[in-house]
Amino acid sequence: MKKIIIDKVVVNIGVGKSGEPMEKARKALLELTGKKPSVRGAKKTVRDFGIHQGEPIGAMVTLRRDTAIEFLKRVFAAKKNVLKESSFDNFGNISLGIHEHIDIPGTKYNPEIGIFGMDVNVVLSRPGYRIARKSRKRSTIGREHRITKDEAMNYFKEQYGVEVQ
């Protein structure tokens, strides 16, 4: 029950405006992951930036199981297998940024799409975490069963050969 697994990998591109740049971001995510991205709207209206509430300003994809693991290996290769300790939160999850999506191995530059930066979030879990999400008899995950920052760092070192600085 203590075995750590990757629950999901969420890839997000924040464009900041709708229209053609938004479509290019969706194509880039589709090309990278092979999954259809979903569009995310603005939470609030910001007049200075010309953004209205509900206007599509970002695209994201959630990857699970084998596709998540394969994508994560490519992302670590783009980061040269080095992660910062500050990328880990206290619950064992990790968030990191990619400056240019063409840095990811297996991706070629497409002049129709351009270059985008992205955020990659990895959620770790253990067997038994479902108890916090189910609808009937929901409960909390015990403190001893939660994934700590140190356990997450050791997991990535052992499983993926990543160096944590």
Q: What pLDDT, on a 0 to 100 scale, did the predictor assign at position 107?
A: 85
SS (H, E, C) 3-65: CCEEEEEEEEEECCCCCHHHHHHHHHHHHHHCCCCEEEECCCCEHHHCECCCCEEEEEEEECH
Instruction: Give me the domains of the chain, ranges plus CATH numbers.
Output: 5-164 (3.30.1440.10)
pLDDT at 21 (0 to 100): 87
> What pLDDT is recorded for position 111?
86
Q: How far is CA 136 from the centre of its chain?
A: 29
pLDDT at 114: 86
Burial class of 18 by CB neighbour count within 10 A (0 to 12, 13 to 18, 19+): middle
Reported pTM:
0.87
Q: What is the pLDDT of residue 90?
A: 92
User: In this predicted model, what pLDDT tens digit does every residue of 62-88 receive, in sequence order?
Assistant: 999 999 999 999 999 999 999 999 999
Q: Which residues of the chain have pLDDT under 70?
A: none
